[in-house]
Structure 1
């Protein structure tokens, strides 16, 4: 029988640390959260592989290193409020729950989150608050946010999400031009938003955040 606790330790020591993930709070969080519980039982044996895990309906569980890179760039603090969009499994939110004060997890309006809500409570993630709504619109009723995470690839970040950052806020995702993807950090200072791209990354696309079609007459 697979020892999941040992698999978590191996993930931290063999996947994360050698790839310059060195934030001790982040390493501890990813070493504590039982990643396998966020997957259907038939897939739990591959929970700690260094690959993205495809699920039904275009959903996926992001590979550990890609998520760790994004969270390390986000630099979440224990007194901050964060929003995560596009994480249908809830795993990223559970990790973030150990790094921030409050984490809002935005899911599609018709998504059944009964089991996920129960799991998060069992894991002591009472500071994760699940909300429903169109992903592209974010969660303006709870804005501004100190950090927003889009754990996957987008072609562009919807303007509505950038506008929901507070001063000093950060939005992290992978932005792709269809040829290469890069972990991209958007930072808001004094009303202006800057960006930098500290890492290359290839992750599945967040289909719900695709740009709306533009009509040319």
Structure 2
């Protein structure tokens, strides 16, 4: 029988902590959740590997080390309200919920919204909810958000997302137009959006995103 507990420990120690993830609360969050419960059954044995996991419909669960570095870059506070865009089956929502006050997971796939809700309930995550909607629209009725987190690559950031950031809010995403992209943090201060490049990474582009339909900073 596959030892998922040992695999999770190895993921944290050999992938996450060796990739400059030093925030102890972030590390603790990754230790707390069984990643294998959030992936398709056919891929459970790959849940803790150093690779993206195919969730179907062109979507992936971001590789652990990149995801952890993105979470750390968000500098999440325990009082923060977080929007988790393209949350899939809810793993990212579960991790973010351990660090924040409230998380709204957003996905456009009805089946994944149902799955994520069930998995999060079973995992006793009580400060998160997953809603269905168009990813490009965000979730303005639940905002403004202190943090917006994006799962998957996009060519640029839609202006409607930055409009949903609170003052001093951070948007963390992977900007990619070719084979290699950059994880960037966009911060809103005095209604002005600043940009910081954090590290190089790559992932499949979230289906439905096109350069001409987004706001260019």
1:119 to partner: Cα distance: 1.3
In 1, the alpha carbon distance for the partners of 2:138 and 2:213 equals 19
1:211 to partner: Cα distance: 3.8
Is 2:196 aligned against 1:196? yes
In 1, the alpha carbon distance for the partners of 2:167 and 2:119 equals 33
Aligned counterpart, 2:181: 181
Which moves more between the two structures, 103-112 or 7-16? 103-112
Aligned residues: 214
- RMSD after superposition: 1.5
1:179 to partner: Cα distance: 4.8
* Pairs within 5 Å for 1:51-70: 51-70=51-70
In 2, the alpha carbon distance for the partners of 1:133 and 1:41 equals 25
1:212 to partner: Cα distance: 5.3
Aligned counterpart, 2:90: 90
1:9-31: CA deviation from partner (whole Å, max 9, x where unpaired): 10010001111011100000011
| Aligned-partner SS, 1:68 | helix
- Please, which runs of 5 or more residues in structure 2 have no aligned partner? none
8 Å CA contact 1:169, 1:188 repeated in 2? yes
Q: TM-score, normalised by structure 2?
A: 0.94
Aligned counterpart, 2:124: 124
Q: TM-score, normalised by structure 1?
A: 0.94
